[in-house]
Amino acid sequence: MSPVRGLARCFGPWATIVLALALLLACGAPPPPTAPAVAATEPALVAQASTATPTLAPSATAAPAPTEMATPQPTATAAVTPLPPATATPLAAMPTATPAVAARGEGGVPGPAAPTPPAVLPTLPAHPGQRVVCLDPGHGGPEVGAANGDMAEKDINLAIALKAADLLRAAGVEPVLTRDSDRAVDPRYTGNSYRGGLTYDVQARIDICNAAGADLFFSIHNNGSGDPGQSGSEVWYNVQRTFSDRNTALADLLLRNILNRLRALGYPAVDRGTKEDTTFRIFQGRPYNLYVLGPGVGARPHVPTLMPGCLGESLFLSNPSDVAMLSRESTLDAIAGAYRDAALAYFQQFPE
């Protein structure tokens, strides 16, 4: 007799019904649902899926299901509340950088203050890369310089400078003139030497040459003396500059060429030599050099020239023989040629 029938005989029909219901619940109940994975809105938030409960296998000895079966109730699915979408916290707005304006410098570091512009700006070289020679006709306007009758040094100096400019230009060198007419270079100069503003005028000459980026500086003069017996040619230079060796060489070249050209005209000009200008003038026991050649330090500080240079004194207007030569156009041409030749010889000697 089977166990089921045995139970039925012992406990009656109710035992059969209870057993059948127990078997039905054990074998036919659906597994609990698997919770859906929650989609993460941020990489760090990952929802883990629920692990399913394994289904129980029916017993091998289980009796067939009774005809009366309990209707299973649908399993309620728990509602999953989705996570709110993650809102990214915006980065703090970066301040807009204001470009640093460099005053004559780079990297936002202020450079030096702009220098005071010269009183008169020159015409810069038309051909970049050319050699540039600054020609400074001494005196001008209210300042006459040496004189003899109707001959004024300022006019002779200008005539030589204009001729030298033409010769240099023809040789491929760019000339720059501090003045090209009978005038003061700085209009503030009214005459009467330093009391009348001569410092403004000579500084303006330096500024013009510096602004032009000149390679050489020639201050063109002629001489005068209370002693009419003094005559001849001399050239002044400065040894206190970093390029003093070039100043010396340039002075030698200019004097040699002036003497050669004057002698080529048949005039035995006196060689007065080259002269260092440290003690050009002694005033109240203090030595002064030539303003346009000096280093700009000491008792008379100023902005100096930035290139080698010298000051030529061709002949004496106070000497009868010399002034007679200066009245001839051929003499002015010869002296102008000497300035041109000295510049070209210098550039050959110092190609850099």
Question: Is residue 254, in this structure, part of any structural domain at all?
Answer: yes
- Residue 284: predicted pLDDT: 80
Nearest to 267 by CA among 227, 326, 312, 221: 326
Per-residue confidence band for 25, with pLDDT thresholds at 50, 70 and 90: low
Same domain, 17 and 137: no
| Over residues 33-47, mean pLDDT | 38
With a cut of 90, say whether residue 26 has pLDDT above it: no
Section 215-233 average pLDDT: 98
291 assigned to some structural domain: yes
Asked if residue 198 is part of any domain, the answer here is yes
Q: Which residue has the tokens 């280093």?
A: 295
Closest of 3, 41, 30 to residue 19, by C-alpha? 3
Looking at per-residue pLDDT, the higher value among 146 and 193 belongs to 146
Residues 185 and 331 in one domain: yes
Per-residue pLDDT tens digits for 106-149? 222 233 333 344 444 445 555 567 999 999 999 999 999 999 99
Confidence at residue 88, expressed as pLDDT on a 0 to 100 scale:
36
Residue 232 pLDDT > 70: yes
Tell me if 34 is assigned to some domain: no
What's the pLDDT band for 311 if we cut at 50, 70, 90?
A: very high
- Calculate the CA dihedral of residues 186, 188, 192, 198 and round it to 10 degrees: -50
More confident residue, 280 or 19: 280
What is the rounded average pLDDT for all residues in the chain?
76
Q: Which CATH number does the domain housing residue 244 bear?
A: 3.40.630.40
Same domain, 149 and 276: yes
Give residue 46's pLDDT: 33
Structural domain boundaries enclosing 237: 132-349
CA 277 → CA 178, 226, 238, distances in Å?
22, 20, 6
Residue 104 domain flag: no
Mean per-residue pLDDT, 297-320: 96
**Is the same domain home to 20 and 151?**
no
**pLDDT score recorded for residue 146:** 98
pLDDT class for 167, splitting at 50, 70, 90? Answer: very high
pLDDT over 60 (residue 212) = yes
Residues 187 and 328 in one domain: yes
Give domain status of residue 43, yes or no: no
Residue 60, pLDDT > 80, answer no
Structure confidence by residue, pLDDT tens digits, 240-290: 999 999 999 999 999 999 999 999 999 999 999 999 998 788 778 787 899
> What pLDDT sits at residue 139?
98
Please give the pLDDT value at position 222. Answer: 98
Give the pLDDT score at 141. Answer: 97
Higher-scoring residue by pLDDT: 36, 305: 305
When divided into structural domains, the chain yields a total of 2
Report if residue 270 sits inside a domain: yes
Tally of CA atoms within 13 A in the half-sphere of 30 that contains its CB: 10
pLDDT 10s digits, 328-339: 999 999 999 999
Task: Report whether 291 contacts 202 (CB < 8 A).
Answer: yes
pLDDT class of 299 with cuts at 50, 70, 90: confident
Instruction: List, for residues 77-112, the tens digit of each pLDDT value.
Output: 444 334 344 333 333 333 333 333 222 222 222 333
Q: Is residue 19 located within the same domain as residue 148?
A: no
Residue 76 inside a domain? The answer is no
Instruction: For residues 179 and 174, give the distance between their C-alpha atoms in angstroms, rounded to a whole number.
Output: 15
pLDDT of res. 243:
97
Per-residue pLDDT band at 194 (split at 50, 70, 90): confident
Please give the pLDDT value at position 78.
Answer: 40
State how far the Cα of 19 lies from the Cα of 29, in Å rounded to an integer: 15
In the predicted model, is pLDDT for residue 292 greater than 70? yes
